[in-house]
Amino acid sequence: MAAAFPFEVPKINWEAEDLGSEFKDFREYVELLFNGPQCDKWTAQQKASAIVSWAGATGRKAFSTFQFADAADKAKPDKVLDKFEKYVEPKTNKWLARVHLQRTVQKENQSVDEYLAVCIRQANKCKLKDNDAVDERVLEQLVVGMRDSTIQQKLLSKGDGLKLNEALDIARSMEASGHQLSQLRASDTNPTTAVHAVRNKQSNCTKCGRKHPIRTCPAWGAICKGCGKPNHFVQMCFSKGQSQGRPQAQKQSHSQRQPRGQSQIHEATAYPYATTSPYGQSYNAIYQDETGVVHYDPPDDASVIFS
């Protein structure tokens, strides 16, 4: 028979621990179907028969014991549902319902509103004296059962004057902010993340030929042995073997120019153009010996050596 219906057939789990909630879910689904396009043209008799059929074997046995004031009520879906509801109501224990409420905590990926709906439904089974008592008990469970400890702390900080509606506004706002923060942190399109990704994949430095953090190039301040220009090593020199546009190095022996204060110096390469030392003074020539030491030679002072 179930295959004849173009929808999922309602069912009741008669072994459910909370039979009252089980039937409430069943009734809500049945009424939704009866008001929908699949069943809206059914007669009252057809709807009543469907309810008894969907209630299963246990439900049909219970239906056979129902007493109706008017025999015609058996063909009315609302009357049939009311009878089933009264049948399961005695099986709902308020003390058991309160224990279940006390154990109701927010599940993973369950929103604040979804958790609230569960708490309210369970609180309504506890047979509390009035709506204020229900709201207070739901508020208590909302504070106790929230997964997010920051929301709990915020609610507790409000003291005894906290009301359910205010607590819901706080919890919803903090929940939304938390989702937005998580999205920002997890976003792969974050510009900062993209920049770091590019830096982590950077190629070898064009000045020293190595990989290193930004602004830590070991070639910075060094003088190239090939072209005499600063801030790169000779193995990374783009001017090696090229004479066009570059000053030509001239070999001079240390006997031709020997810095004062040095008794002996290896043969050096002289570059016949003026330059400036790291201290801002102008010099006529630069000497770089075979050990890589750079010699600044002022015309009227002893050599100043920089390594």
- What are the residue boundaries of the structural domains of the chain, listed by start? 2-91, 94-186
| Mean pLDDT score across all residues of the chain | 76
More confidently predicted of 21 and 50:
50
pLDDT tens per residue across span 138-164:
999 999 999 899 999 999 999 889 999
The predicted-structure confidence for 221-271, as pLDDT tens digits, reads as follows: 888 888 888 888 888 887 755 433 334 444 444 444 444 444 443 333 444
pLDDT-above-70 percentage for the chain: 70
Higher pLDDT, 294 or 95: 95
Nearest alpha carbon to residue 297 among 249, 271, 259:
259
Backbone phi and psi for residue 277, each to the nearest 5 degrees, phi listed first: -75, 170
Q: What is the CA radius of gyration of the chain?
A: 44
**Selected residue with higher pLDDT from 149 and 195:** 149
Q: What is the pLDDT of residue 156?
A: 92
Q: What one-character DSSP code corresponds to residue 305?
A: E
Is the per-residue pLDDT at 90 higher than 80? no
Which residue intervals of 107-200 are DSSP H helices? 112-123, 131-145, 149-156, 164-186, 191-200
Helix or strand (DSSP H, E) at 269: strand 268-271
Residue 300 has pLDDT above 90, yes or no: no
Say what the pLDDT of residue 276 is: 47
Other C-beta atoms lying within 10 Å of the C-beta of residue 222: 18
- CATH code linked to domain 94-186: 1.10.1200
- Rounded Cα distance between 136 and 42, Å, is 43
In which residue are the tokens 């007669």 written?
Answer: 43
- The predicted pLDDT at position 104 comes to 92
